[in-house]
């Protein structure tokens, strides 16, 4: 289950600064952003319904995944300006190798009454 690492679909740099379209063709219901310290780990869970697009604005991270149905695994590095889709039924952990900022788009919003988050440790 190899993951495709995605880069912005459009980028413009000029005297005003930088403009990036980080993804297109993905309908989402929730957007989150965050900043994590070097060594921090997020995830170790999967979603049954929610599809995620995870994008590193700055920094670097190691992503590990396991398909909870088949046991298939993947591990890869993300650097600044790269993103990846995390699919339903795919447990994921993200270990930040340096201080990093990220954007996460989710196909479904978080609902505390029905969180669609299931613990499933992924080797870090």
pLDDT digit string, tens, across residues 20-73: 888 888 889 999 999 999 999 999 999 999 999 999 999 999 999 999 999 999
pLDDT the model gives residue 24: 85
* 5 falls within a domain: no
Read off the pTM: 0.91
* 25 falls within a domain: yes
pLDDT the model gives residue 124: 64
Segments forming the whole domain that contains residue 17: 10-119
* 98 falls within a domain: yes
Q: What is the CATH number of the domain that holds 78?
A: 2.60.120.10
- Determine the average pLDDT of the residues in 11-24: 89
* 3 falls within a domain: no
**How many domains, the chain?**
1
- Determine the average pLDDT of the residues in 2-8: 89
Burial class (CB in 10 A: 0-12, 13-18, 19+), 10: exposed
* 44 falls within a domain: yes
Asked if the model's pLDDT at residue 1 lies above 90, the reply is no
DSSP string across 2-69: PPPPB--SEEEEETTEEEEE---S---SEEEEEEE-TT-EEEEEE-SS--EEEEEEESEEEEEEEETT
* 79 falls within a domain: yes
């Amino acid at each position: 289950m190899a993951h495709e690492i995605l880069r912005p679909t459009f980028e413009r740099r000029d005297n005003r600064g930088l403009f990036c379209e980080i993804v297109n063709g993905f309908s989402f219901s929730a957007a989150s952003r965050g900043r994590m310290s070097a060594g921090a780990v997020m995830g170790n869970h999967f979603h049954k319904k929610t599809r995620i697009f995870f994008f590193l604005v700055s920094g670097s991270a190691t992503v590990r995944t396991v398909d909870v149905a088949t046991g298939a695994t993947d591990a890869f590095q993300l650097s600044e300006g790269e993103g990846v889709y995390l699919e339903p039924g795919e447990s994921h952990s993200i270990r930040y190798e340096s201080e990093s900022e990220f954007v996460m788009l989710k196909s479904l919003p978080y609902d505390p009454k029905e969180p669609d988050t299931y613990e499933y440790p992924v080797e870090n």
